[in-house]
Amino acid sequence: MSQVSRAGPEGPSEDGRAGQDRDGASLQQLDDAALALRAAEGCREAAQALILRYQATVRAFLRRLTFDRDLADDLAQETFLRLLRHVGRYDSRYAMKTWLLTIARRLLINHLRRADRHNGTLPEQPLPAAGDGPLEQADAADQRRNIRRMLEHALAQLTEPQRQAILLFHQQEMSIQDAARVMGVPVGTVKSHLHRARHAMRRTLVQMPEMMTS
């Protein structure tokens, strides 16, 4: 399967200065709005720079919503194809990350409607560093697996909007306002989803201590 980074323009510009715009400035130093403007004008390197800047974020968001790496990568690639086709519509009043995750979410919803399937997962949680010995490392690995299983199970019990709110706010570290833009709902609705999701996850986690020893 093709990688997301291949969805963008390939190869250096005609003068061979990959990573620079036509004026010689480093693309990595440009903000998203400037890159989007150059991409809309036909600069292949600017479009590729945007893809490289955000592909990890989009992939992580989709992978943790779908439970399916291949599906998430396919949807991420389609997200960036949409970016290439519609970059001229980007409104710089909003964050590029918000715009891209909105596109990714809509693509996922369309897929779920077709497949009638709902899955999810949470980002990995930080754990204390393991000791140097093999027993300590094995114990830490077991703990990590158990915690992930518990979190994934708890998140899977949520409604789709609740999962999206949790991931946008906690995993993507978005503000309530930006999460509301991505989800296309009022700020109060996002707050309600977060409140209900946290309560539901706490209740689920309390009720499943046996997973820690299974």
Q: Would you state the pLDDT for residue 158?
A: 87
Residues 114 and 106: their CA atoms lie apart, in Å, by 12
- Confidence label for 117 from pLDDT (cuts 50, 70 and 90): very low
DSSP 8-state class, residue 2: -
Q: Exposed (0-12), middle (13-18) or buried (19+): which is 12, by Cβ within 10 Å?
A: middle
Higher pLDDT, residue 32 or 119: 32
Chain segment 21-45, per-residue pLDDT in tens: 444 458 778 999 999 999 999 999 9
Residue 12 predicted with pLDDT over 70: no
Residues 167 and 121: their CA atoms lie apart, in Å, by 9
Q: Has this prediction a pTM greater than 0.85?
A: no
User: Which residue segments constitute the domains of the chain, with CATH numbers given?
Assistant: 4-13+24-115 (1.10.1740.10), 134-212 (1.10.10.10)
Q: Exposed (0-12), middle (13-18) or buried (19+): which is 80, by Cβ within 10 Å?
A: buried
Burial string for 33-46 (b: 16+ CB within 10 Å, else e) reads: eebbbbbbeebbbb
Residues 61 and 76: their CA atoms lie apart, in Å, by 9
Name which of 51-55, 104-108, 191-195 the model is least confident about.
Answer: 104-108
Higher pLDDT, residue 212 or 181: 181
